[in-house]
């Protein structure tokens, strides 16, 4: 066995520790920058934010938005993963996007459920409606069926995609 192996192990372990520190520092620095930018935005007069950013922030507008988003949602990021010490800025943003997408998919599902209830109501109203009312009910029922099918299909696809993303992020 080579005498060099213990030295190489020490080098690899030291580099690993520095990497963990750098990754944690990156995510926390993004949060800190975001907090400062959020406070600055509250102090800058309305309509002057972009000009202030150009003149005072070395990052671009998109970077500022990303940092502010991380700062606003930091508790949500840290509760989602136990490995904040290894979390990069992009991973933090992906966790937030997955949560936002999940909320959107759940909203689509709720909308589909509301349409189902409206269809049930229209079906019961058909029993007592006059001919003009029946035409309206039939037309509205067709619209609702088409909307509900589209929404349900989109929500199922979104929920499956999000579940997969959350599994890989955890």
Residue 169 CA: distances (Å) to CA of 41, 68, 87, 93, 164: 31, 21, 10, 11, 9
The ranges assigned to domains in the chain are 1-87, 90-170
b/e 25-62 (16+ beta carbons within 10 angstroms → b): ebbbebbebbbebeebeeeeeeeeeeeebeeebeeeee
pLDDT tens-place values along the chain, 170 residues long: 678 888 888 888 887 777 767 767 777 888 899 999 999 999 999 999 999 999 999 988 888 988 888 888 877 767 655 554 455 556 666 666 656 656 666 666 777 667 677 777 767 776 676 777 777 777 887 888 788 788 778 877 777 777 777 676 55
Output the DSSP codes for 29-88.
Answer: HHHHHHHHHHHHHHHSPTT-HHHHHHHH-SS-HHHHHHHHHHHHTHHHHHHH-S-GGG--
């Amino acid at each position: 066995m080579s005498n060099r192996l213990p030295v190489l192990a020490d080098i690899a372990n030291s580099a690993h520790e520095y990497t963990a520190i750098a990754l944690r520092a990156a995510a926390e620095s993004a949060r800190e920058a975001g907090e400062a930018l959020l406070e600055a935005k509250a102090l800058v007069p309305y309509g002057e934010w972009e000009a202030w950013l150009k003149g005072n922030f070395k990052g671009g507008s998109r970077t500022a938005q990303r940092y502010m988003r991380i700062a606003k949602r930091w508790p949500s990021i840290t509760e989602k993963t136990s490995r904040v010490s290894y979390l990069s800025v992009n991973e933090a943003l992906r966790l937030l996007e997955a949560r936002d997408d999940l909320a959107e998919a759940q909203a689509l599902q709720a909308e589909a459920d509301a349409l189902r209830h409206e269809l049930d109501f229209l079906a019961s109203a058909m029993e007592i409606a006059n001919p003009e009312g029946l035409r309206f009910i039939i037309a509205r029922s067709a619209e609702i069926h088409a909307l509900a099918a589209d929404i349900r299909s989109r929500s199922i696809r979104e929920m499956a995609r999000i579940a997969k993303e959350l599994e890989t992020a955890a």
